[in-house]
Amino acid sequence: MFKILRKTELAPDIWEMEVAAPQIAQKARPGQFVVAMADERGERIPLTIADFTPDAGSITLVVMVVGTSTVKLSRLGEGDKLYALIGPLGHASRIEPCQAVAMVAGGVGAAPVYPIARAFHQQGSRVITIQGARHKALLFWTDRLASVSQQHQVTTDDGSAGHKGLVTETLKEVLAADTQKQIGCVYAIGPTPMMEFCAKTTEPFGVKTVVSLNSIMVDGTGMCGGCRVEVGGRTFFTCIDGPEFDGHQVNWELLTARQKTYRHQENCAFEKTLNTRTG
Ligand SMILES: Cc1cc2nc3c(=O)[nH]c(=O)nc-3n(C[C@H](O)[C@H](O)[C@H](O)COP(=O)(O)OP(=O)(O)OC[C@H]3O[C@@H](n4cnc5c(N)ncnc54)[C@H](O)[C@@H]3O)c2cc1C
Ligand code: FES
């Protein structure tokens, strides 16, 4: 079970893995995630189901290497098996009827954005995607995103591809050009600061803004409270109440602080893992 059927390097330290998981593939919906363990002693980490093929009995994960567990996953090859894979978890995205939707994908956020954009595209909404990365080498799935979008715009911080600048600048232009108010919803998925600033950008336009929060998770089943976030002054657990929330209501300061809780331990563990050949 959970055999890696295909593994591709999409960009430096970003891997796409197609994994055999027939039951998860049957039930998966856009916006949901799995909790994966690379090996018996590994920690449980959340990863979005970036694609799913019920007929083939497989799901696609995109993993960006940032620490111990993601480096362990990246060291597995085709034919290897994940020790555990639990899911689908979390609520699926609400694909509400709307004339147009703007999807902002920052960095590895291109992976979770894709199935949601495809679902809006399939229901007949006009999809505008804004895909941003620091540098062109870090862009991936641009063709896939373009294939489910009427309008697909690329931005890079250094101008190596597309528009030079931040996704928020392009988002502001897109919303300002929408004089007939056809865009019923903005999705922003990527690094926490990007999601926060996308939400701040959309606020004056009064457009509903959905973000997918990447809080630290432990069990992924609502038992530990590790993933708690504050939204609209109330406490929620990202794993069972999310991962999608109203970006205008999120307490970004608290989320950012909580993400740094174990930074020292994570850095020490990462260094140790990098110094071992097999993790
Ligand atoms: C619902 C959900 C879906 C996710 N989907 C994906 C995905 O599809 N692909 C992907 O590559 N990653 C995804 N993530 C993030 C991924 O789970 C973390 O990057 C991973 O747990 C880091 O584990 P690590 O041991 O490699 O790094 P750690 O040593 O745990 O952390 C290394 C660095 O990454 C930061 N970090 C740790 N956990 C998170 C987190 N949850 N979000 C952001 N930064 C974090 C730490 O603060 C630290 O700076 C998702 C997270 C959530 C909550
Ligand atoms: S990860 Fe434990 S409650 Fe959400």
Give the lowest-confidence range in 69-78, 153-162, 258-267: 258-267
Per-residue pLDDT at 177: 96
Other Cβ atoms within 10 Å of 55 Cβ, number? 8
- Ligand 2 atom closest to residue 227's alpha carbon, by position in its atom list: 4
For residue 227, what are the CA distances in angstroms to 49, 73, 222? Answer: 18, 22, 8
* Ligand 1 pocket member 270 (CB < 6 A): yes
Q: How many Å separate Cα 20 from the centre of its chain? A: 20
37 CB within 6 A, ligand 1: no
The closest alpha carbon to 14, from 137, 189, 104, belongs to 137
Dist CA 111 CA 128 (whole Å): 16
- For residue 263, the ligand closest to its alpha carbon is 1
* Whether the predicted pLDDT of 141 surpasses 60: yes
pLDDT digits (tens, 9 = 90+) for 102-134: 999 999 999 999 999 999 999 999 999 999 999
Range from 71-80, 161-170, 225-234, 264-273 carrying the lowest mean pLDDT: 264-273
As a whole number of angstroms, the distance between CA 117 and CA 145 comes to 8
Tell me how far the alpha carbon of residue 205 lies from the centroid of ligand 1, in angstroms. Answer: 31
E-strand stretches of the chain: 4-11, 14-20, 33-37, 45-48, 51-53, 58-64, 84-89, 100-106, 126-133, 151-156, 163-164, 183-189, 208-212, 228-231, 234-237, 244-246
Second CATH level (architecture) for the domain 100-212: 3-Layer(aba) Sandwich (3.40)
Identify any residues that bridge with 245 across adjacent strands, giving them in sequence order.
211
Q: What pLDDT, on the 0 to 100 scale, is given for residue 212? A: 97
Residue 62 token pair: 């995109």
Whether residue 79 has pLDDT greater than 60 = yes
Q: What is the mean pLDDT of the chain?
A: 93
Cα of 223 from ligand 2 centre, angstroms = 6
Taking alpha carbons only, the member of 135, 186, 137, 134 closest to residue 11 is: 137
- In order of 25, 197, 238, the CA distances from 247 in angstroms are 28, 10, 13
Ligand 1 near 211 CB (within 6 A): no
User: Quick one: which of 141, 71, 111, 77 has its CA closest to 214?
Assistant: 111
pLDDT score recorded for residue 279? 43
Q: Which residue, by CA, sits nearest to atom 2 of ligand 2?
A: 224
Residues in the chain, overall count: 279
In 3D space, the residue among 18, 176, 202 whose CA is nearest the CA of residue 111 turns out to be: 18
Helix, strand, or coil (residue 232): coil
CATH topology for 4-89? Elongation Factor Tu (Ef-tu); domain 3 (2.40.30)
DSSP bridge pairs for 53: 58
Ramachandran region, residue 141 (left: φ > 0; alpha: ψ -120 to 50; beta: rest): left
Report whether residue 38 contacts ligand 1, using a CB cutoff of 6 Å: no
The answer to whether the CB of 216 is under 6 A from ligand 1 is: yes
Q: Is the pLDDT of residue 174 over 70?
A: yes
Q: Where are the alpha helices (DSSP H) in the chain?
A: 22-27, 68-74, 110-122, 142-147, 167-177, 192-202, 238-241, 252-259, 263-274
Where in the sequence of the chain do the CATH 3.40.50.80 domains occur? Answer: 100-212
Q: Is 32 in the pocket of ligand 1 (CB under 6 A)?
A: no
C-alpha to C-alpha distance for 170 and 142, rounded to whole angstroms: 16
pLDDT in tens, 199-254: 999 999 999 999 999 998 988 999 999 999 999 999 999 999 999 999 999 999 99
